[in-house]
Amino acid sequence: MTHSTQPLLAPLTAEEWGDDEYAAFGALLGLPGEKVPRAGSGHATDPLNFDIIGLLARHPKMARRFLTFNGWLLQRGELPLRLRELAILRVAYTRRSEFFWAEHTKVATEGGMPPEDIARLAHGNDEFTGADRLVLEATDELLARGRADPPTWQRLTDELGTHQAMELIFVVGTYAMLAMAFQTWGLMPPPGGAPLPDD
């Protein structure tokens, strides 16, 4: 994938962060805006460490509501981390998102997913079994057709229960949307992140 040298939208600079922007980031962190570390503070959750947040916060009212939802999906949803990250990484691979492949390889690895399982995602679904394979097949179907067919939905609810099956659709849709946004704006992956495997 080729990037223009100039992104179409850049993350906020330290001087551009204000009350509304801190409140938006706070929605993800579960903190009121005034408790969010200030931009340029050097704190671990300094907003300048997160280009994705700095981009979303250019529309702070939308970001606040979106990050409340996305934070819930990532931190309080019922879908297990492994299944959620398999789906996100498949979205990143299919939609050729270098940013999300790098970011969620890190999230998956830190969450205990073996690196060899991540590497196998580039080879299709044959090397996966059980709920892993079901989630990957459903993710492929959602991305290709814009819906899961009734038999796929039935398998998901039988295997995962209704809540997790519903969450899977929202995870896939959320990260497909984010990939579109950040590829449009030209967000680069973090330095040293895992490279996106060849298609």
What is the model's pLDDT at position 199? 82
> What is the number of residues in the chain?
199
The owner of tokens 């939308």 is 62
Alpha-carbon distance values, 2 to 93, 97, 179 (Å): 15, 11, 15
Q: What is the pLDDT of residues 67-100, one digit of tens each?
A: 999 999 999 999 999 999 999 999 999 999 999 9
What is the model's pLDDT at position 5? 64
Alpha helices in 76-161 (DSSP H): 81-94, 98-110, 115-120, 130-145, 150-160
**Contact status, residue 56 vs residue 63, Cβ threshold 8 Å:** yes
What are the sequence ranges of the domains in the chain? 14-75, 81-185
Can you give the pTM of this predicted structure? 0.94
Show the low-confidence residues of the chain (pLDDT under 70).
1-5
Neighbouring C-alpha atoms within 13 Å toward the C-beta of 142:
27
**Contact status, residue 29 vs residue 45, Cβ threshold 8 Å:** yes
Q: Return the CATH architecture of domain 81-185.
A: Up-down Bundle (1.20)
What is the model's pLDDT at position 6? 82
**Contact status, residue 37 vs residue 43, Cβ threshold 8 Å:** yes
